[in-house]
């Protein structure tokens, strides 16, 4: 009960800033929808900065396994848990992007994949990985800001995305 109240309070804090400043709404929409694609491109660009062919192969394989694994795990958990989206559950939630209310909210697939990308990059290169973690955090913030996820959804996505990435890294390395 306490956790749900905290989740709703944090959601209202972040989502409550939407529809007040147009520039912030555009920034939130960009982070929630498009930034993950820029992260994927950045992760592939990083591929060319690895010193050896073996490292490149391991990185690419870990990156692929982590992102696919994170997305699959998100679908499996979501199928079993099935939490409704905030704009369905909460009166007054501000929805800035269109998404089906039939889709699950917990955990956030965008968050899981973004953090899987970020942590995989971190395992191979700390400076690039830190930048990617900041971008992944912006993706997570954007998903709450636009009203399609609760903070716990994106936090769980971050933790699970990082865990999947770590497991894949340990298996492949």
**Stated pTM of the model:** 0.91
Mean pLDDT value of segment 53-81: 90
9-13, 26-30, 51-55, 73-77: least confidently modelled range = 51-55
Residue 101 predicted with pLDDT over 70:
no
Q: In order of start, what are the domains of the chain with their CATH numbers?
A: 2-172 (1.20.144.10)
Q: Around Cβ 21, how many Cβ atoms within 10 Å?
A: 11
Local structure of residue 52 (DSSP, 8 states): S
Q: What is the pLDDT of residue 129?
A: 95
CA distances for 137 relative to 57, 100, 119, 144, 159, angstroms = 27, 23, 12, 11, 12
Q: What is the pLDDT of residue 85?
A: 84
Mean pLDDT value of segment 68-84: 89
């Amino acid at each position: 009960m306490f956790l749900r109240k905290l989740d709703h309070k944090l959601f209202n804090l972040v989502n409550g800033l939407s529809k007040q400043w147009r520039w912030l709404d555009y920034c939130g929409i960009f982070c929630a929808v498009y930034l993950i694609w820029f992260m994927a491109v950045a992760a592939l660009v990083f591929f060319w900065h690895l010193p050896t062919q073996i490292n490149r192969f391991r990185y690419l394989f870990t990156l692929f396994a982590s992102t696919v694994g994170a997305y699959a795990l998100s679908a499996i958990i979501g199928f079993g848990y099935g939490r409704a989206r905030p704009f369905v559950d909460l009166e007054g939630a501000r929805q800035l992007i269109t998404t089906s209310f039939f889709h699950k909210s917990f955990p956030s697939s965008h968050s899981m994949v973004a953090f899987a990308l970020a942590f995989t990059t971190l395992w191979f290169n700390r400076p690039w990985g830190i930048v990617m973690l900041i971008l992944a955090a912006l993706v997570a913030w954007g998903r709450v800001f636009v009203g399609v996820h609760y903070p716990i959804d994106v936090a769980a996505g971050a933790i699970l995305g990082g865990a999947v990435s770590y497991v894949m890294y340990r298996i492949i390395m």
